[in-house]
Amino acid sequence: MSLQAEAIEKLCELARLEVTDPEMADFTSKLSRIVDLVDQLQAVDTSATRPLAHPLELPQRLRPDVVTESDERALLQRNAPDVGNGLYLVPKVIE
């Protein structure tokens, strides 16, 4: 499928790109090749192909979901200059 210059101009307008006339021929040929490649990929019969989540058929080894650290918020907030209700208070920077 060959793209026409009018289609490229419309795409450039939608993308807010300014394309000069010398660039238009280059863009047209390159985008046409990309569209031709996509057409080739769509022509391949994949009806007998299983979808893959991962190329290796191995089970995921997951670690147990357990708490490994204790809550040390009060200890960590002792170094903060200003704390209120468990939150770090900072000066207002936007008015």
**H/E segment holding residue 31:** helix 21-43
pLDDT for residue 5 is more than 90:
no
Each residue's pLDDT tens digit, 23-78: 888 888 888 899 999 999 999 998 898 888 777 777 778 889 998 899 999 899 99
Tell me, yes or no, whether 48 lies in a domain: no
Tell me, yes or no, whether 11 lies in a domain: yes
pLDDT for residue 1 is more than 70:
no
Is residue 19 a contact partner of residue 8, using CB atoms and an 8 Å limit?
yes
CA distance 21 to 36: 23
User: What is the pTM assigned to this prediction?
Assistant: 0.48
Tell me, yes or no, whether 31 lies in a domain: yes
Tell me, yes or no, whether 26 lies in a domain: yes
Tell me, yes or no, whether 77 lies in a domain: no
Query: DSSP characters for 39-88?
Result: HHHHHS--TTPPP-S-SS------------S---HHHHHTTSS-EETTEE
pLDDT at 81: 92
Q: How many domains does the chain have?
A: 1
pLDDT at 6: 85
Give me the domain span that covers residue 14.
Answer: 5-43
